[in-house]
Chain A
Amino acid sequence: MSNFNQHILIPLVDQLQVVNKRNAFYIDGQYYTYRQLAERISSIRFVIQTAAKEEQIWALAIHDDLDTYASIFALWMEGKAYVPLHPNQPIDRNLNIISQVALHNVLDSVNHSAFDIPNADYEMHYTHDLVYKADLLDDWKEASEDDLAYILFTSGSTGTPKGVQLSRKNIATFMDSFWKTGITITPEDRCMQVFDLTFDVSVQSYLVALTRGACVYTVPYGQVKYLYAASLIQEQKITFGAMAPSMLTYLRPYFSEFDATSMRQCILTAEACPVDLMEDWYKCAPNVEIYDFYGPTEATIYCTYYKLTRGGKNLSLNGIISIGRPMANVQAIIIDEDGNIIPEKSGAEHKGELCVAGDQVTPGYWKNEEKNASSFFTLPFRERQGVGSIRYYHTGDLCYWDESGNIMYSGRIDQQAKIQGFRVELGEIEYHAREYFNKEKRVMAIAFQNEKNLTEIALFIESAELDTKDLVTYMRSKMPAYMIPTRIIFIENFPLNKSEKVDRNALKQMLK
Protein backbone atom coordinates (compact mmCIF):
# COMPACT_ATOMS: atom_id res chain seq x y z
CA MET A 1 0.00 0.00 0.00
CA SER A 2 1.20 3.49 -0.82
CA ASN A 3 1.89 5.75 2.07
CA PHE A 4 1.82 9.55 2.16
CA ASN A 5 4.93 9.89 4.31
CA GLN A 6 6.87 7.38 2.25
CA HIS A 7 6.01 9.04 -1.08
CA ILE A 8 5.91 12.70 -0.10
CA LEU A 9 7.12 13.87 3.30
CA ILE A 10 10.16 11.57 3.70
CA PRO A 11 11.62 12.28 0.22
CA LEU A 12 10.87 15.99 0.58
CA VAL A 13 12.56 16.28 3.98
CA ASP A 14 15.52 14.29 2.62
CA GLN A 15 15.93 17.00 0.01
CA LEU A 16 15.42 19.81 2.52
CA GLN A 17 18.16 18.42 4.73
CA VAL A 18 20.59 16.93 2.23
CA VAL A 19 20.63 19.19 -0.81
CA ASN A 20 19.83 22.33 1.09
CA LYS A 21 22.07 24.59 -1.02
CA ARG A 22 20.44 23.44 -4.22
CA ASN A 23 17.67 25.55 -5.73
CA ALA A 24 14.12 24.42 -5.00
CA PHE A 25 12.28 27.21 -6.81
CA TYR A 26 12.70 29.85 -9.47
CA ILE A 27 9.87 32.32 -8.96
CA ASP A 28 9.51 35.55 -10.91
CA GLY A 29 13.23 35.77 -11.69
CA GLN A 30 14.46 34.80 -8.21
CA TYR A 31 15.99 31.50 -7.05
CA TYR A 32 15.14 29.99 -3.62
CA THR A 33 17.17 27.11 -2.16
CA TYR A 34 15.88 24.02 -0.40
CA ARG A 35 17.32 25.59 2.77
CA GLN A 36 15.13 28.67 2.32
CA LEU A 37 12.12 26.44 1.67
CA ALA A 38 12.93 24.50 4.88
CA GLU A 39 13.01 27.72 6.91
CA ARG A 40 9.70 28.94 5.55
CA ILE A 41 8.02 25.56 6.16
CA SER A 42 9.35 25.56 9.75
CA SER A 43 8.17 29.12 10.44
CA ILE A 44 4.70 28.50 9.02
CA ARG A 45 4.29 25.31 11.07
CA PHE A 46 4.68 27.36 14.26
CA VAL A 47 1.83 29.61 13.14
CA ILE A 48 -0.43 26.68 12.33
CA GLN A 49 0.29 25.14 15.73
CA THR A 50 -0.73 28.32 17.56
CA ALA A 51 -4.05 28.89 15.76
CA ALA A 52 -6.92 29.50 18.18
CA LYS A 53 -9.21 27.07 16.41
CA GLU A 54 -7.85 23.59 15.88
CA GLU A 55 -9.23 22.70 12.46
CA GLN A 56 -8.23 19.94 10.08
CA ILE A 57 -8.89 21.90 6.91
CA TRP A 58 -7.37 25.31 6.19
CA ALA A 59 -7.95 27.81 3.45
CA LEU A 60 -4.82 28.83 1.57
CA ALA A 61 -4.80 32.04 -0.44
CA ILE A 62 -2.64 31.17 -3.41
CA HIS A 63 0.09 33.36 -4.82
CA ASP A 64 3.11 32.67 -6.92
CA ASP A 65 5.55 32.87 -4.02
CA LEU A 66 7.68 30.64 -1.81
CA ASP A 67 5.42 30.98 1.25
CA THR A 68 2.39 29.62 -0.60
CA TYR A 69 4.27 26.43 -1.52
CA ALA A 70 5.86 26.23 1.95
CA SER A 71 2.38 26.56 3.48
CA ILE A 72 1.18 23.45 1.66
CA PHE A 73 3.98 21.33 3.15
CA ALA A 74 3.63 22.97 6.57
CA LEU A 75 -0.07 22.08 6.60
CA TRP A 76 0.66 18.50 5.53
CA MET A 77 3.33 18.09 8.22
CA GLU A 78 0.72 19.28 10.71
CA GLY A 79 -1.64 16.58 9.45
CA LYS A 80 -3.91 19.13 7.80
CA ALA A 81 -5.47 19.69 4.40
CA TYR A 82 -5.63 22.83 2.27
CA VAL A 83 -8.34 24.41 0.18
CA PRO A 84 -6.72 26.76 -2.37
CA LEU A 85 -8.47 30.08 -2.90
CA HIS A 86 -7.44 32.29 -5.79
CA PRO A 87 -7.63 35.98 -4.81
CA ASN A 88 -8.35 36.92 -8.44
CA GLN A 89 -11.48 34.83 -8.57
CA PRO A 90 -14.74 36.53 -7.55
CA ILE A 91 -14.91 37.08 -3.78
CA ASP A 92 -18.50 35.70 -3.75
CA ARG A 93 -17.22 32.41 -5.12
CA ASN A 94 -14.37 32.24 -2.61
CA LEU A 95 -16.66 33.09 0.32
CA ASN A 96 -19.06 30.41 -0.87
CA ILE A 97 -16.20 27.87 -0.69
CA ILE A 98 -15.16 29.09 2.78
CA SER A 99 -18.74 28.77 3.95
CA GLN A 100 -19.33 25.34 2.34
CA VAL A 101 -16.32 23.84 4.13
CA ALA A 102 -16.87 26.00 7.26
CA LEU A 103 -13.23 27.08 7.17
CA HIS A 104 -11.99 28.90 10.29
CA ASN A 105 -8.40 29.60 9.29
CA VAL A 106 -7.04 31.38 6.22
CA LEU A 107 -3.30 31.43 5.48
CA ASP A 108 -2.06 34.23 3.26
CA SER A 109 1.45 35.30 2.24
CA VAL A 110 0.76 38.90 1.17
CA ASN A 111 0.67 42.08 3.29
CA HIS A 112 -3.02 42.77 2.80
CA SER A 113 -5.14 39.74 2.07
CA ALA A 114 -8.21 39.95 -0.17
CA PHE A 115 -9.82 37.71 2.44
CA ASP A 116 -9.14 40.03 5.38
CA ILE A 117 -12.64 41.45 5.56
CA PRO A 118 -14.48 42.90 8.60
CA ASN A 119 -16.57 40.53 10.72
CA ALA A 120 -15.32 37.45 8.88
CA ASP A 121 -16.07 34.19 10.62
CA TYR A 122 -12.48 32.97 10.26
CA GLU A 123 -9.04 33.89 11.53
CA MET A 124 -6.44 35.37 9.17
CA HIS A 125 -2.86 34.11 9.46
CA TYR A 126 -0.21 36.12 7.65
CA THR A 127 3.11 34.48 6.81
CA HIS A 128 5.06 37.37 5.21
CA ASP A 129 6.45 38.78 8.46
CA LEU A 130 7.29 35.48 10.14
CA VAL A 131 10.87 35.34 11.36
CA TYR A 132 12.71 32.02 11.21
CA LYS A 133 13.60 30.73 14.68
CA ALA A 134 14.37 27.03 14.41
CA ASP A 135 13.94 24.06 12.12
CA LEU A 136 10.71 22.17 12.44
CA LEU A 137 10.95 19.57 9.74
CA ASP A 138 10.22 16.39 11.64
CA ASP A 139 7.70 15.46 14.36
CA TRP A 140 4.92 15.33 11.83
CA LYS A 141 1.54 15.22 13.38
CA GLU A 142 0.09 11.75 13.15
CA ALA A 143 -2.49 11.48 10.41
CA SER A 144 -4.48 8.69 8.88
CA GLU A 145 -4.09 7.82 5.21
CA ASP A 146 -7.80 8.56 4.90
CA ASP A 147 -7.36 12.12 6.19
CA LEU A 148 -7.69 14.75 3.51
CA ALA A 149 -4.70 16.43 1.82
CA TYR A 150 -6.63 19.01 -0.20
CA ILE A 151 -10.06 19.89 -1.53
CA LEU A 152 -10.31 21.39 -4.99
CA PHE A 153 -13.44 23.22 -6.03
CA THR A 154 -14.54 22.85 -9.63
CA SER A 155 -17.41 24.25 -11.63
CA GLY A 156 -20.81 22.90 -10.56
CA SER A 157 -23.80 22.67 -12.92
CA THR A 158 -26.17 23.89 -10.16
CA GLY A 159 -24.40 27.25 -10.03
CA THR A 160 -22.39 26.42 -6.90
CA PRO A 161 -18.79 25.15 -7.07
CA LYS A 162 -18.39 21.58 -5.88
CA GLY A 163 -15.51 20.37 -3.71
CA VAL A 164 -13.55 17.26 -4.68
CA GLN A 165 -11.85 15.77 -1.60
CA LEU A 166 -8.47 14.11 -2.07
CA SER A 167 -7.01 12.05 0.75
CA ARG A 168 -3.39 11.45 1.69
CA LYS A 169 -3.82 7.90 0.37
CA ASN A 170 -5.09 9.26 -2.99
CA ILE A 171 -1.98 11.38 -3.49
CA ALA A 172 0.46 8.74 -2.28
CA THR A 173 -1.13 6.24 -4.65
CA PHE A 174 -0.91 8.76 -7.48
CA MET A 175 2.80 9.28 -6.83
CA ASP A 176 3.38 5.53 -6.88
CA SER A 177 1.48 5.28 -10.20
CA PHE A 178 3.37 8.25 -11.61
CA TRP A 179 6.84 6.85 -11.01
CA LYS A 180 5.75 3.55 -12.57
CA THR A 181 5.14 5.29 -15.93
CA GLY A 182 8.90 5.40 -16.47
CA ILE A 183 9.25 9.17 -16.15
CA THR A 184 12.42 9.98 -14.22
CA ILE A 185 13.37 13.19 -12.44
CA THR A 186 16.83 13.83 -11.02
CA PRO A 187 18.21 16.76 -9.01
CA GLU A 188 19.65 18.09 -12.28
CA ASP A 189 16.20 18.59 -13.79
CA ARG A 190 14.60 22.00 -14.28
CA CYS A 191 10.85 21.42 -13.96
CA MET A 192 8.17 23.84 -15.05
CA GLN A 193 5.01 24.53 -13.02
CA VAL A 194 2.57 26.47 -15.17
CA PHE A 195 -0.70 25.62 -13.46
CA ASP A 196 -2.84 27.60 -11.09
CA LEU A 197 -2.76 26.00 -7.62
CA THR A 198 -6.56 25.59 -7.77
CA PHE A 199 -5.93 23.10 -10.59
CA ASP A 200 -4.58 19.68 -9.67
CA VAL A 201 -1.86 19.32 -12.31
CA SER A 202 -0.04 21.92 -10.17
CA VAL A 203 0.26 19.26 -7.45
CA GLN A 204 2.03 16.88 -9.84
CA SER A 205 4.19 19.74 -11.09
CA TYR A 206 5.63 20.72 -7.71
CA LEU A 207 5.60 17.28 -6.04
CA VAL A 208 7.58 15.28 -8.56
CA ALA A 209 10.28 17.94 -8.67
CA LEU A 210 10.60 18.61 -4.94
CA THR A 211 10.58 14.95 -3.92
CA ARG A 212 13.54 14.38 -6.28
CA GLY A 213 15.60 17.46 -5.40
CA ALA A 214 14.94 19.24 -8.70
CA CYS A 215 14.13 22.94 -9.18
CA VAL A 216 10.56 24.13 -9.85
CA TYR A 217 10.23 27.05 -12.31
CA THR A 218 6.87 28.74 -11.89
CA VAL A 219 4.79 30.97 -14.12
CA PRO A 220 3.71 34.07 -12.15
CA TYR A 221 0.00 34.91 -12.03
CA GLY A 222 -0.90 37.91 -14.17
CA GLN A 223 1.34 36.83 -17.03
CA VAL A 224 0.29 35.51 -20.42
CA LYS A 225 1.00 31.94 -19.50
CA TYR A 226 2.05 30.46 -22.83
CA LEU A 227 4.55 33.24 -23.51
CA TYR A 228 6.09 33.11 -20.05
CA ALA A 229 6.33 29.31 -20.30
CA ALA A 230 8.02 29.62 -23.70
CA SER A 231 10.57 32.06 -22.30
CA LEU A 232 11.25 29.70 -19.36
CA ILE A 233 11.76 26.75 -21.71
CA GLN A 234 14.07 28.70 -23.96
CA GLU A 235 16.01 30.84 -21.49
CA GLN A 236 16.06 28.65 -18.37
CA LYS A 237 16.47 25.45 -20.39
CA ILE A 238 13.56 23.60 -18.86
CA THR A 239 13.95 19.80 -18.99
CA PHE A 240 10.53 18.63 -17.79
CA GLY A 241 7.04 20.07 -17.65
CA ALA A 242 3.34 19.44 -17.96
CA MET A 243 1.39 21.70 -20.27
CA ALA A 244 -2.07 21.98 -21.73
CA PRO A 245 -2.04 21.42 -25.52
CA SER A 246 -3.67 24.85 -26.03
CA MET A 247 -0.46 26.48 -24.76
CA LEU A 248 1.44 24.85 -27.62
CA THR A 249 -1.34 25.76 -30.05
CA TYR A 250 -0.79 29.44 -29.18
CA LEU A 251 2.94 29.06 -29.76
CA ARG A 252 2.64 27.03 -32.94
CA PRO A 253 2.92 29.98 -35.38
CA TYR A 254 6.36 30.64 -33.86
CA PHE A 255 7.60 27.03 -33.64
CA SER A 256 10.19 27.60 -36.36
CA GLU A 257 11.96 30.09 -34.07
CA PHE A 258 11.37 28.16 -30.82
CA ASP A 259 14.34 26.32 -29.31
CA ALA A 260 13.19 23.64 -26.87
CA THR A 261 16.20 21.36 -27.22
CA SER A 262 16.61 21.25 -23.42
CA MET A 263 13.21 19.51 -22.99
CA ARG A 264 13.76 15.89 -22.00
CA GLN A 265 10.25 14.84 -20.97
CA CYS A 266 6.97 16.63 -21.57
CA ILE A 267 3.45 15.85 -20.41
CA LEU A 268 0.44 17.09 -22.35
CA THR A 269 -2.71 17.03 -20.29
CA ALA A 270 -6.01 18.66 -19.30
CA GLU A 271 -7.30 18.84 -22.87
CA ALA A 272 -7.56 16.68 -25.96
CA CYS A 273 -4.11 16.37 -27.53
CA PRO A 274 -3.93 16.83 -31.34
CA VAL A 275 -1.53 14.46 -33.13
CA ASP A 276 -0.37 17.02 -35.73
CA LEU A 277 0.50 19.52 -33.00
CA MET A 278 2.68 16.89 -31.36
CA GLU A 279 4.45 16.13 -34.64
CA ASP A 280 5.38 19.81 -34.90
CA TRP A 281 6.35 19.95 -31.22
CA TYR A 282 8.82 17.11 -31.76
CA LYS A 283 10.64 19.35 -34.26
CA CYS A 284 11.10 22.18 -31.69
CA ALA A 285 12.05 19.76 -28.96
CA PRO A 286 14.34 17.21 -30.66
CA ASN A 287 15.25 15.43 -27.40
CA VAL A 288 11.81 15.20 -25.84
CA GLU A 289 9.74 12.18 -24.85
CA ILE A 290 6.06 13.09 -24.96
CA TYR A 291 3.34 11.64 -22.75
CA ASP A 292 -0.39 12.32 -23.09
CA PHE A 293 -1.96 12.08 -19.63
CA TYR A 294 -5.68 11.98 -18.95
CA GLY A 295 -7.55 12.21 -15.69
CA PRO A 296 -10.37 13.88 -13.82
CA THR A 297 -9.65 15.63 -10.49
CA GLU A 298 -11.79 12.92 -8.85
CA ALA A 299 -9.15 10.28 -9.67
CA THR A 300 -6.20 12.40 -8.45
CA ILE A 301 -4.57 14.29 -11.29
CA TYR A 302 -4.12 11.57 -13.92
CA CYS A 303 -5.40 8.04 -14.33
CA THR A 304 -4.43 6.94 -17.86
CA TYR A 305 -1.52 7.80 -20.15
CA TYR A 306 -0.13 7.20 -23.60
CA LYS A 307 3.54 7.50 -24.45
CA LEU A 308 4.03 8.88 -27.94
CA THR A 309 6.66 7.63 -30.35
CA ARG A 310 8.80 10.07 -32.31
CA GLY A 311 8.41 9.47 -36.00
CA GLY A 312 6.17 6.51 -35.34
CA LYS A 313 2.48 5.98 -35.82
CA ASN A 314 0.69 7.33 -32.78
CA LEU A 315 -2.77 6.05 -32.04
CA SER A 316 -5.40 8.70 -32.63
CA LEU A 317 -9.10 9.27 -33.25
CA ASN A 318 -10.17 12.23 -35.41
CA GLY A 319 -6.68 13.62 -35.01
CA ILE A 320 -6.71 13.34 -31.20
CA ILE A 321 -4.11 11.16 -29.46
CA SER A 322 -5.31 8.11 -27.52
CA ILE A 323 -5.49 8.50 -23.74
CA GLY A 324 -3.72 5.15 -23.52
CA ARG A 325 -3.89 2.66 -20.72
CA PRO A 326 -4.66 2.94 -17.00
CA MET A 327 -1.82 3.91 -14.65
CA ALA A 328 -0.47 1.21 -12.34
CA ASN A 329 -2.95 1.69 -9.47
CA VAL A 330 -6.02 2.45 -11.57
CA GLN A 331 -8.66 0.03 -12.78
CA ALA A 332 -10.62 1.25 -15.79
CA ILE A 333 -13.79 -0.09 -17.36
CA ILE A 334 -16.04 1.20 -20.10
CA ILE A 335 -19.76 0.65 -19.61
CA ASP A 336 -22.62 0.86 -22.09
CA GLU A 337 -25.90 2.72 -21.52
CA ASP A 338 -27.32 -0.24 -19.60
CA GLY A 339 -24.32 -0.42 -17.30
CA ASN A 340 -22.81 -3.52 -18.93
CA ILE A 341 -19.04 -3.73 -19.05
CA ILE A 342 -17.74 -3.50 -22.62
CA PRO A 343 -14.92 -6.03 -23.16
CA GLU A 344 -11.46 -4.60 -23.74
CA LYS A 345 -10.23 -4.35 -27.35
CA SER A 346 -13.86 -4.20 -28.60
CA GLY A 347 -13.16 -1.43 -31.09
CA ALA A 348 -14.85 1.80 -32.13
CA GLU A 349 -18.28 0.22 -32.53
CA HIS A 350 -18.60 -0.19 -28.79
CA LYS A 351 -18.46 3.20 -27.14
CA GLY A 352 -19.44 3.83 -23.55
CA GLU A 353 -18.63 5.78 -20.43
CA LEU A 354 -15.17 5.42 -18.95
CA CYS A 355 -15.30 4.56 -15.23
CA VAL A 356 -12.26 4.29 -12.96
CA ALA A 357 -11.55 2.67 -9.61
CA GLY A 358 -8.69 2.22 -7.17
CA ASP A 359 -6.97 4.12 -4.38
CA GLN A 360 -6.61 7.26 -6.48
CA VAL A 361 -10.38 7.75 -6.57
CA THR A 362 -11.70 10.50 -4.27
CA PRO A 363 -13.65 9.58 -1.15
CA GLY A 364 -16.36 11.85 -2.64
CA TYR A 365 -17.59 15.39 -3.05
CA TRP A 366 -17.65 17.63 0.00
CA LYS A 367 -21.06 17.38 1.70
CA ASN A 368 -22.88 16.60 -1.50
CA GLU A 369 -24.85 13.40 -1.01
CA GLU A 370 -26.84 13.75 -4.18
CA LYS A 371 -23.73 14.08 -6.36
CA ASN A 372 -21.97 11.32 -4.44
CA ALA A 373 -24.91 8.98 -5.04
CA SER A 374 -24.93 9.66 -8.78
CA SER A 375 -21.18 9.79 -9.45
CA PHE A 376 -19.98 6.55 -7.84
CA PHE A 377 -21.14 2.95 -8.01
CA THR A 378 -19.88 -0.41 -6.83
CA LEU A 379 -19.50 -3.65 -8.69
CA PRO A 380 -18.88 -7.02 -7.12
CA PHE A 381 -15.65 -8.88 -7.71
CA ARG A 382 -14.44 -12.28 -6.68
CA GLU A 383 -11.16 -12.95 -4.96
CA ARG A 384 -9.61 -15.91 -3.21
CA GLN A 385 -10.86 -14.83 0.21
CA GLY A 386 -14.45 -14.39 -0.94
CA VAL A 387 -16.63 -11.82 -2.61
CA GLY A 388 -15.96 -8.11 -2.36
CA SER A 389 -16.84 -4.97 -4.23
CA ILE A 390 -15.00 -2.26 -6.05
CA ARG A 391 -16.08 1.38 -6.17
CA TYR A 392 -16.00 3.17 -9.53
CA TYR A 393 -16.24 6.82 -10.51
CA HIS A 394 -18.30 7.86 -13.53
CA THR A 395 -15.94 10.12 -15.50
CA GLY A 396 -18.63 11.36 -17.91
CA ASP A 397 -16.18 10.75 -20.77
CA LEU A 398 -17.31 8.80 -23.81
CA CYS A 399 -14.59 6.33 -24.80
CA TYR A 400 -13.91 3.00 -26.41
CA TRP A 401 -11.25 0.31 -26.22
CA ASP A 402 -9.09 0.23 -29.31
CA GLU A 403 -8.16 -3.21 -30.66
CA SER A 404 -4.68 -2.69 -29.19
CA GLY A 405 -6.10 -2.25 -25.67
CA ASN A 406 -5.70 1.53 -25.54
CA ILE A 407 -8.54 3.86 -24.61
CA MET A 408 -9.78 6.34 -27.21
CA TYR A 409 -11.50 9.53 -26.04
CA SER A 410 -14.56 10.47 -28.03
CA GLY A 411 -16.15 13.43 -26.18
CA ARG A 412 -18.33 14.16 -23.16
CA ILE A 413 -21.66 12.54 -22.37
CA ASP A 414 -22.77 15.67 -20.50
CA GLN A 415 -22.48 19.45 -20.79
CA GLN A 416 -18.95 19.90 -19.52
CA ALA A 417 -16.22 21.73 -21.43
CA LYS A 418 -12.52 22.32 -20.93
CA ILE A 419 -11.27 25.88 -21.26
CA GLN A 420 -7.49 26.22 -21.05
CA GLY A 421 -7.59 22.95 -19.12
CA PHE A 422 -10.15 24.17 -16.57
CA ARG A 423 -13.35 22.18 -16.23
CA VAL A 424 -16.39 24.27 -16.98
CA GLU A 425 -19.96 23.13 -16.41
CA LEU A 426 -22.00 24.93 -19.04
CA GLY A 427 -24.93 24.66 -16.63
CA GLU A 428 -23.14 26.94 -14.18
CA ILE A 429 -22.78 29.67 -16.82
CA GLU A 430 -26.44 29.26 -17.77
CA TYR A 431 -27.44 29.44 -14.10
CA HIS A 432 -25.75 32.81 -13.56
CA ALA A 433 -27.00 34.26 -16.85
CA ARG A 434 -30.56 33.19 -15.97
CA GLU A 435 -30.20 34.71 -12.51
CA TYR A 436 -29.18 38.00 -14.13
CA PHE A 437 -32.39 37.98 -16.17
CA ASN A 438 -34.42 37.02 -13.05
CA LYS A 439 -35.12 33.67 -14.74
CA GLU A 440 -37.21 35.52 -17.34
CA LYS A 441 -35.15 34.54 -20.37
CA ARG A 442 -33.93 31.24 -21.72
CA VAL A 443 -30.18 30.96 -22.18
CA MET A 444 -27.88 28.28 -23.56
CA ALA A 445 -24.11 28.06 -23.17
CA ILE A 446 -22.39 26.19 -25.99
CA ALA A 447 -18.72 25.21 -26.17
CA PHE A 448 -17.24 25.35 -29.66
CA GLN A 449 -13.89 25.12 -31.42
CA ASN A 450 -12.71 28.36 -32.97
CA GLU A 451 -10.76 28.63 -36.23
CA LYS A 452 -7.51 27.94 -34.35
CA ASN A 453 -9.03 24.78 -32.82
CA LEU A 454 -9.21 26.31 -29.34
CA THR A 455 -12.33 25.93 -27.21
CA GLU A 456 -14.47 28.99 -26.58
CA ILE A 457 -17.90 29.46 -25.01
CA ALA A 458 -20.83 31.17 -26.68
CA LEU A 459 -23.91 32.25 -24.74
CA PHE A 460 -27.20 32.24 -26.65
CA ILE A 461 -30.01 34.36 -25.20
CA GLU A 462 -33.60 34.01 -26.37
CA SER A 463 -34.41 37.67 -26.77
CA ALA A 464 -34.24 40.70 -29.01
CA GLU A 465 -30.76 42.22 -28.95
CA LEU A 466 -29.80 43.95 -25.67
CA ASP A 467 -26.77 45.74 -24.32
CA THR A 468 -24.63 43.01 -22.72
CA LYS A 469 -22.30 45.16 -20.63
CA ASP A 470 -24.15 44.71 -17.32
CA LEU A 471 -24.69 41.00 -17.97
CA VAL A 472 -20.96 40.48 -18.53
CA THR A 473 -20.12 42.52 -15.42
CA TYR A 474 -22.56 40.39 -13.41
CA MET A 475 -21.09 37.13 -14.71
CA ARG A 476 -17.59 38.38 -13.91
CA SER A 477 -18.65 38.92 -10.31
CA LYS A 478 -19.78 35.30 -10.06
CA MET A 479 -17.35 33.23 -12.14
CA PRO A 480 -13.63 33.06 -12.95
CA ALA A 481 -12.48 34.82 -16.13
CA TYR A 482 -12.08 31.58 -18.11
CA MET A 483 -15.82 30.85 -17.67
CA ILE A 484 -17.02 34.13 -19.18
CA PRO A 485 -18.49 33.55 -22.67
CA THR A 486 -16.44 35.09 -25.46
CA ARG A 487 -19.48 35.42 -27.71
CA ILE A 488 -23.03 36.46 -26.80
CA ILE A 489 -25.70 35.88 -29.43
CA PHE A 490 -29.36 36.88 -29.34
CA ILE A 491 -32.05 34.78 -31.03
CA GLU A 492 -35.76 35.59 -30.96
CA ASN A 493 -36.77 31.92 -30.75
CA PHE A 494 -34.52 29.00 -29.91
CA PRO A 495 -34.63 26.10 -32.37
CA LEU A 496 -36.24 22.95 -30.92
CA ASN A 497 -35.47 19.31 -31.60
CA LYS A 498 -37.97 16.47 -32.07
CA SER A 499 -38.44 16.16 -28.29
CA GLU A 500 -39.37 19.84 -28.12
CA LYS A 501 -36.16 20.62 -26.26
CA VAL A 502 -33.76 23.40 -27.24
CA ASP A 503 -31.63 22.00 -30.03
CA ARG A 504 -28.04 22.48 -28.85
CA ASN A 505 -26.67 21.05 -32.07
CA ALA A 506 -28.58 23.57 -34.19
CA LEU A 507 -27.22 26.40 -32.02
CA LYS A 508 -23.72 24.99 -32.35
CA GLN A 509 -24.09 24.91 -36.14
CA MET A 510 -24.82 28.65 -36.06
CA LEU A 511 -21.32 29.24 -34.71
CA LYS A 512 -19.64 27.79 -37.78
Chain B
Amino acid sequence: MTREEIIKQLTPIAQEVFQKSELVLTDNLSAQNVDTWTSLAFMQFLTAIEEQFGFKFKMMELLKLKTMGDILASMEQHLA
Protein backbone atom coordinates (compact mmCIF):
# COMPACT_ATOMS: atom_id res chain seq x y z
CA MET B 1 0.00 0.00 0.00
CA THR B 2 1.41 3.40 -0.93
CA ARG B 3 1.69 6.31 1.46
CA GLU B 4 -1.00 8.16 -0.51
CA GLU B 5 -3.39 5.20 -0.22
CA ILE B 6 -2.72 4.95 3.53
CA ILE B 7 -3.37 8.68 4.00
CA LYS B 8 -6.59 8.44 2.01
CA GLN B 9 -7.95 5.64 4.22
CA LEU B 10 -6.52 7.04 7.45
CA THR B 11 -7.83 10.60 7.08
CA PRO B 12 -11.51 9.92 7.91
CA ILE B 13 -10.42 7.79 10.91
CA ALA B 14 -8.19 10.57 12.23
CA GLN B 15 -10.88 13.19 11.60
CA GLU B 16 -13.39 11.19 13.62
CA VAL B 17 -11.10 10.18 16.48
CA PHE B 18 -9.56 13.64 16.90
CA GLN B 19 -12.96 15.29 16.30
CA LYS B 20 -11.64 17.58 13.57
CA SER B 21 -13.62 17.29 10.36
CA GLU B 22 -11.09 19.24 8.32
CA LEU B 23 -7.93 17.61 9.65
CA VAL B 24 -5.30 17.16 6.93
CA LEU B 25 -2.73 14.47 7.73
CA THR B 26 0.74 15.96 7.70
CA ASP B 27 3.92 14.53 9.22
CA ASN B 28 4.20 17.16 11.95
CA LEU B 29 0.81 16.54 13.60
CA SER B 30 1.27 15.47 17.23
CA ALA B 31 -0.04 15.94 20.77
CA GLN B 32 1.92 19.22 20.75
CA ASN B 33 -0.23 20.83 18.06
CA VAL B 34 -3.53 18.89 18.03
CA ASP B 35 -5.40 19.74 21.22
CA THR B 36 -7.62 16.64 20.98
CA TRP B 37 -4.60 14.29 20.70
CA THR B 38 -5.19 12.96 24.22
CA SER B 39 -4.15 9.58 25.62
CA LEU B 40 -7.69 8.30 25.10
CA ALA B 41 -7.96 9.59 21.52
CA PHE B 42 -4.50 8.27 20.65
CA MET B 43 -5.34 4.82 21.96
CA GLN B 44 -8.63 4.86 20.00
CA PHE B 45 -6.68 5.94 16.91
CA LEU B 46 -4.22 3.05 17.25
CA THR B 47 -7.03 0.55 17.83
CA ALA B 48 -8.90 1.84 14.77
CA ILE B 49 -5.74 1.56 12.64
CA GLU B 50 -5.13 -2.01 13.82
CA GLU B 51 -8.72 -2.99 13.05
CA GLN B 52 -8.97 -1.22 9.69
CA PHE B 53 -5.57 -2.23 8.34
CA GLY B 54 -5.34 -5.67 9.95
CA PHE B 55 -2.01 -5.59 11.77
CA LYS B 56 -0.78 -5.08 15.35
CA PHE B 57 1.73 -2.50 16.51
CA LYS B 58 4.53 -3.78 18.71
CA MET B 59 5.15 -2.17 22.11
CA MET B 60 8.60 -0.91 21.09
CA GLU B 61 7.14 0.67 17.96
CA LEU B 62 4.43 2.39 19.96
CA LEU B 63 6.97 4.04 22.22
CA LYS B 64 8.47 5.76 19.19
CA LEU B 65 5.18 7.01 17.69
CA LYS B 66 5.30 10.71 18.57
CA THR B 67 3.96 12.29 15.36
CA MET B 68 1.65 11.47 12.48
CA GLY B 69 4.80 11.11 10.37
CA ASP B 70 6.03 8.36 12.74
CA ILE B 71 2.66 6.60 12.50
CA LEU B 72 2.60 6.79 8.70
CA ALA B 73 6.18 5.49 8.46
CA SER B 74 5.36 2.57 10.75
CA MET B 75 2.20 1.78 8.78
CA GLU B 76 4.12 1.84 5.51
CA GLN B 77 6.47 -0.82 6.91
CA HIS B 78 3.60 -3.02 8.14
CA LEU B 79 1.70 -2.70 4.88
CA ALA B 80 4.64 -3.00 2.48
Q: Which residues of A contact B (CB under 8 A)?
A: 88, 222-227, 230-231, 234, 246-247, 250, 254, 257-258, 420, 452, 454, 456, 469, 472, 476, 481-482, 484, 486
Contacts and interface: CB of A to CB of B under 8 A. Distances in A.
Contacts of B40: 420, 454, 456, 486
Contacts of B38: 224, 420, 481-482
A224 B67 CA distance: 10
Interface of B: 19, 21, 30-32, 35-40, 42-43, 57-60, 62-63, 65-66
B65 A227 contact: yes
A262 B42 CA distance: 27
A247 B35 CA distance: 19
Nearest to A419: B40
Main secondary structure of the interface of A (DSSP, over half): helix
B36 A481 contact: yes
A486 B16 CA distance: 11
A472 B19 contact: yes
A250 B35 contact: no
Closest 4 pairs between A and B when the two form their complex, measured CB to CB: A257-B59, A254-B59, A222-B32, A231-B63
A337 B59 CA distance: 48
Contact of B62 (A225, A227, A454, A481): A227
Contact of A481 (B21, B35, B42): B35
Contacts, number: 52
A224 B42 contact: yes
Contact of A257 (B21, B30, B60): B60
Given A250-B43, A469-B21, A224 B37 contact: yes
Nearest to B43: A250
Interface centre among A224, A258, A420, A476 (most CB of B within 10 A): A224
Contact of B39 (A250, A456, A469): A250
Contacts of A225: 39
Contacts of A258: 59
A254 B36 contact: no
Contacts of A226: 39, 43
Nearest to B40: A454
Given A254-B57, A452-B43, 10 more contacts: A222-B30, A222-B31, A224-B37, A225-B39, A226-B39, A246-B39, A254-B58, A257-B60, A420-B39, A482-B38
Contacts of A454: 40
Contact of A224 (B21, B31, B36, B57): B31
Contacts of A250: 39, 43
B39 A257 contact: no
Contact of A223 (B35, B57, B59, B66): B66
Nearest to A235: B63
A466 to B, nearest CB: 15
B35 A227 contact: no
A366 B54 CA distance: 53
B39 A247 contact: yes
Nearest to B45: A224
14 contacts: A88-B35, A222-B31, A223-B31, A223-B66, A224-B42, A227-B63, A227-B65, A246-B39, A250-B39, A254-B59, A257-B58, A481-B36, A481-B38, A486-B19
B21 A254 contact: no
Contacts of A420: 38-40
A486 B38 CA distance: 11
A347 B51 CA distance: 45
Contacts of A223: 31, 66
